[in-house]
Structure 1
Amino acid sequence: PIRYRHAPARNISIARNACLDASVSDLVAFIDDDETASPGWLVELVATAEATGATAVLGPVRATYRQDAPDWMRKGDFHSTLPVWVGGEIRTGYTCNVLLRMTEESLRNRRFSLARGQTGGEDTEFFDSVVKSGGRIAFASHAFVDEVVPSSRAAFDWLRRRRFRFGQTHGHLIGRNTGGLRRVCQVGLASAKAGYCFGMALLAAVSPVRRNRSMLRGIMHLGVVSGLVGVREIRQYGITPQEGEKRAA
């Protein structure tokens, strides 16, 4: 049986929380509305959850580009999604392809931040809190979902804004309960990383894939600086057509 839950608000966190509130199962899977699950998607997620006992299991998102997408973007595959490993662990996650074990203590009564429901980053914060509460995240490498990249997102400017917001979220998270000299050191480190990435972009100027990858990474680190100093995160979701036209102007 399929049940629809109406969540009439321009806030993605409200929709995600409505799904969690409506669920009566031990396992909950999230997939985005513009994605197509592979035939073995759910089987792979559940098998990995059972084999690892993890709190959450992530799967890969494979981007498919339209013919009008820039050649460098198609070659570099800038839109596919994979988890980030740090020291052999996954410390945060995403909701575009994930299975949650709702019986775990680190997930009990946990919900997505309404404050990030229009900026994005609500999933990053959610999984960061899960891990800090003792939860573990595993990866099911064969639990694929596919996503066609629309023309509106097949542009450097869209990637720039998204990477910058990624950095802002990360900066806010690492800056929590951090002040004084330690925060200054974090700002200095992120600034140095940004400078290094922009330098590498200059060196790779003749290679569009390497140049743009370095540029976007540098922009992400600038976002980290922005988050560390408390700049409000840019808004990405819940924008009306009129607002979008004003911003474009």
Structure 2
Amino acid sequence: MTQRNQSSSPMTQIDVCVCTYRRPYLAETLRSLAALELPASIKARIVVADNDAAPSARELVASLAPSLPFELIYIHCPSSNISLARNACLDAASGDFLAFVDDDSTVTAKWLAALIETAEATGADAVLGPVQSLYAPSAPDWMRRGDFHSTSPVWVDGQIRTGYSGNVLLRRVSPHVDGRRFNLALGKTGGEDTEYFSQLHADGGQIACAPDAIVLEPVTENRARLQWLAKRRFRSGQTHGRLLTNRQAGRRSVQIGLAAAKAAYCFAGAAALVAVPHKRNRQALRGIMHVGAISGLLGIREIRLYGDEPAGGRAHAA
């Protein structure tokens, strides 16, 4: 970790949190964190929360700790519930800020500095950075062309109203962050981060974007499939529908009708674009998301995405 000399600046303490579940790629994540370029005014600490029933990441973390230029904390929080792991990180954090990055990603050298710079410039309670997907040559051409796995903040009427946990900085002492926890009931279905940031914003918290705080995420073979994307779009829609129900309980029938109309429009668009695979599949996936929203509005239980995957599989995803 390279630090530039800025002795006149006050020290800023940051906990970088990585939730992990049977993921050997965690070693690459930690090595990328070791290569961070930080001003001397920033002191980083790494917290690894192992979400496996057995402490499967303990040996890997212990083997890497002596070679890393920062304090490395290991927490075992068994349950195969990603919300439990995220909350363990929140409880363990003691710095001015805490950041989350996934255990199947690597950070760029200026990642953390860019997040902090935006937080200080905007005063935001949370700062999101983009997650750029890296596709293997074997990935379908339509998928690489459409870049279906990358994630970036969504602006609505000039505001970012929700977020994700794969690349985010939280102002730990903010009243909108302090005491807020991820919903344990969503720890196996996913959507816990969408709910967290949606509620943070609804309660008056500000979410900003740091476009230069880039995280890179390789797309593994099991995720380079339309079925994988469809399942996650459907679950994303379920989460959105449930949040709409919580905010607008008296307009459920209106919201269901609107989601059904949007789904029909998207599927019609997909049929019209059948000869252009990346555009066709984008419209189809949007339609599936709106169908998921109908499911959430109807109160149907969200599909389970996490836990119980074989070693090395993707157990946690936003």
Question: For this structure pair, what is the TM-score category when the shorter chain's length is used for normalisation?
Answer: over 0.9
Kindly indicate whether residue 269 of structure 2 is the aligned counterpart of residue 189 of structure 1. Answer: no
Aligned ranges for residues 53-68 of structure 1 at < 5 Å?
53-68=123-138
Q: Distance in 2 between matches of 1:170 and 1:179?
A: 13
1:124 to 194, 210, 220: 194
Pairs within 5 Å for 1:164-179: 164-176=234-246, 178-179=248-249
Q: Deviations over 1:50-107 (max 9, x none)?
A: 0000000000001001121111001100000011111110000000000000111111
The residue that corresponds to 1:247 in the other structure is none
Mapped to 2, the partners of 1:94 and 1:75 lie a distance apart of: 23
Matched, 1:233 2:302: yes
Higher strand proportion (structure 1 or 2): 2
Question: Alpha-carbon deviation of 1:133?
Answer: 1.1
Give the aligned partner of residue 288 of structure 2. 219
1:209 alignment partner in structure 2: 278
Q: Residue in 2 aligned with 1:144?
A: 214
Of 149, 154, 157, which aligns to 2:224?
154
Partner residue of 1:49?
Answer: 119
Higher relative contact order (CA 8 A, sep 6+): 1
Structure-1 separation of matches of 2:113 and 2:249: 45
* Deviation, structure 1 residue 240: 4.2
Alignment partner, residue 35 of structure 2:
none
Tell me the distance in 2 between the aligned counterparts of 1:161 and 1:237.
12
1:189 partner SS: helix
1:178 deviates by 3.4
Residues 101-132 of structure 1, C-alpha deviations (whole Å, 9 max, x = no match): 01111112011010000100000000011011
- Structure 1 residue 179: deviation in Å? 3.5
Q: Indicate whether 1:9 and 2:85 are aligned.
A: no
TM-score normalised by the chain length of structure 1: 0.95
CA–CA separation in structure 1 for the residues paired with 2:107 and 2:247: 39
Amino acid at match of 2:194: T
**Structure 1 segment 90-109 matched on structure 2, within 5 A:** 90-109=160-179
What is residue 147 of structure 2 aligned with on the other side? 77
Take 2:282 and 2:247, find their aligned partners in 1: how far apart are those partners? 31
Q: Which amino acid aligns with 2:156?
A: V
User: Following TM superposition, by how much is the alpha carbon of 1:177 offset from its aligned partner in structure 2, in angstroms?
Assistant: 5.1
Alpha-carbon offset, residue 174 of structure 1: 0.6
Q: Is 2:269 the partner of 1:200?
A: yes
Aligned residues: 241
> What is the distance in 2 between the residues matched to 1:135 and 1:114?
21
Q: Which amino acid aligns with 1:172?
A: R
Deviation readout 1:4-45 (Å, 9 max, x if unpaired): 111111100111111110011120000000100000000000
What secondary structure, in the 3-state scheme, does the structure 1 residue paired with 2:72 have? coil
Q: Give the unaligned 5+ runs of structure 1.
A: 245-249
Partner amino acid, structure 2, of 1:208:
P
213-222 or 102-111, larger mean C-alpha shift: 102-111
Larger C-alpha radius of gyration, 1 or 2? 2
Counterpart secondary structure, 2:266: helix
